[in-house]
Structure 1
């Protein structure tokens, strides 16, 4: 099987975590059974890190011809030391990568590089919370979104910064090999994965968990593991030390959906998965906290699933 290729683009004064987090995800994917070919390129002959560590075995840009099935990840750098003398070299290269259909990603402040190259014009995007305002002000054609782990816009991905490069890399691995494998990689790295390990690519889990509010993550985790119980907003609010009104407002602004709709959608999604696996209607309704087997049966028929009655 031909390895998928990930090309890491290094600016001088690159932030180590922005680079190493994503690198480790793809390295560990290989340890777990799906190896990637990892390449490192730079427009600079001897790029170094913002913390003073230098790099060897970094290839020049013209040594790698980007293909449509490649992933290009541009790691964040110290913007105060960004040398623009090589812009005429790397901008055409990154533009070609995007035009070729490759998946082009930025971690943290590297969103500024994608913006300079014109790749983010008219797109939703994000960067480190400390730079979102500056990114929007310097590039008014962008639609900068705050409080998101990462943002996907066609084949262009931007992540919030530092450790969120790990979340983005896990998402890419999940797109290639499925959520169960991505969960295995996260577990191997001994990190907390913000998505349920059984969620599909278009799952309700993924649609509403790409944010960085730890209190809402805690509520979402609790809901996911207690769908079979009666979930009461006042109890959820007490769990994260806030009022019901505050939680309701914060949940909606953070996730884009209400708590009630989130619970309903999770229950229905899990129920459909279990029914597809051949589980009986009454057991599925009880397991997912859906009070009426009739209601569940109607939902199954609407989605074309043949439900087992007994």
Structure 2
């Protein structure tokens, strides 16, 4: 079981904590192996919004597969609030050195900087704090106008709600974009993966709608995109007529169900080709009868 450990700092912002926690909690509701922990160096941690959060434990021992997330806090440019003890700094640095992943939301990037994890790495934070972060940690490369950045298992995100985008991306990386899209749908948020580099996924790109009928059909296609899926079978799964499905799918995604399935197949084939597979082998693995259709679709 993978631990997701939230390091609570006094004056933390509740949404910085609750957004990513909701993503991993929802993923757990779908049967995934996440255990959430809320740790701190004191029993009760006051939030910037007035509520007090009680830790579940002191700083625990971690495995390399575990994730540490540091929510942001009311910082006013980092002075005062958010200063970690030498023990906490060593705990963060030790987890990363052992192969673990450390993430932050908003001003939580300062905690990673205190642990020496930003040196020589790309990172980001809230737009009002970017200059301060660059000044405080001159060896870091602070990127602007991005939602999140991943550099050698150090993951930083921008302000407040961007922690949801970061967490969805981490779920997609571990379990696939289809599952991340289901989590986003359950949370009624857009399934985005726009970090610092292009990370376009057809599964997520065409999930930014609220049509339950279309989502149900996409769930079927996402799970079985290598199979032959007649329109009548998809319509039956959604409980609508073929004509209604075609119209609803086009309105929600701009595509037909077949075109959506083809995009998923091409993405899978491109991934396999990028990892050394031949076009012919990739085409078969992605569900094409032969490579000719794959070549035509790639050429588009």
Aligned mates of 1:297, 1:10 — CA distance in 2 = 49
Paired residue for 1:12? 10
Q: How does 1:65-80 map to 2 (within 5 A)?
A: 65-80=61-76
Among candidates 88, 112, 128, match of residue 114 of structure 1: 112
TM-score, normalised via structure 2 length? 0.67
Aligned mates of 1:279, 1:161 — CA distance in 2 = 46
Aligned mates of 1:173, 1:271 — CA distance in 2 = 18
Contact 1:5 1:36 in 2 (8 A): yes
Aligned mates of 1:298, 1:33 — CA distance in 2 = 35
Aligned mates of 1:298, 1:192 — CA distance in 2 = 27
Deviation at 1:279, TM superposition (A): 5.7
Deviation at 1:277, TM superposition (A): 1.6
Q: How does 1:226-305 map to 2 (within 5 A)?
A: 269-270=266-267, 272=269, 275=283, 276-278=286-288, 296=296
Deviation at 1:58, TM superposition (A): 3.2
Aligned mates of 1:156, 1:204 — CA distance in 2 = 18
Contact 1:43 1:89 in 2 (8 A): no
List runs of 5+ in structure 2 lacking aligned partners.
205-249, 257-262, 271-281
Paired residue for 1:41? 39
Q: CA 1:271–1:9 in structure 2 vs 1: closer, same or farther (change >3 Å)?
A: closer
Q: CA 1:203–1:79 in structure 2 vs 1: closer, same or farther (change >3 Å)?
A: closer
List runs of 5+ in structure 1 lacking aligned partners.
197-201, 210-221, 229-265, 286-294, 300-310
Deviation at 1:48, TM superposition (A): 1.1
Aligned length: 230
Contact 2:72 2:108 in 1 (8 A): yes
Give CA-to-partner distance per residue, 1:35-58, whole Å, 9 cap, x none.
411111112332110111001243
**SS of residue in 1 equivalent to 2:173:** helix
Give CA-to-partner distance per residue, 1:149-205, whole Å, 9 cap, x none.
110001110011211111111111112211111111111111111249xxxxx9850
Paired residue for 2:155? 157
Aligned mates of 1:34, 1:185 — CA distance in 2 = 11
Aligned mates of 1:46, 1:38 — CA distance in 2 = 17
Following TM superposition, the consecutive aligned residue runs of length 4 or more in structure 1 with deviations greater than 6 angstroms are: none
Q: CA 1:93–1:227 in structure 2 vs 1: closer, same or farther (change >3 Å)?
A: same
Paired residue for 1:22? 20
TM-score, normalised via structure 1 length? 0.65
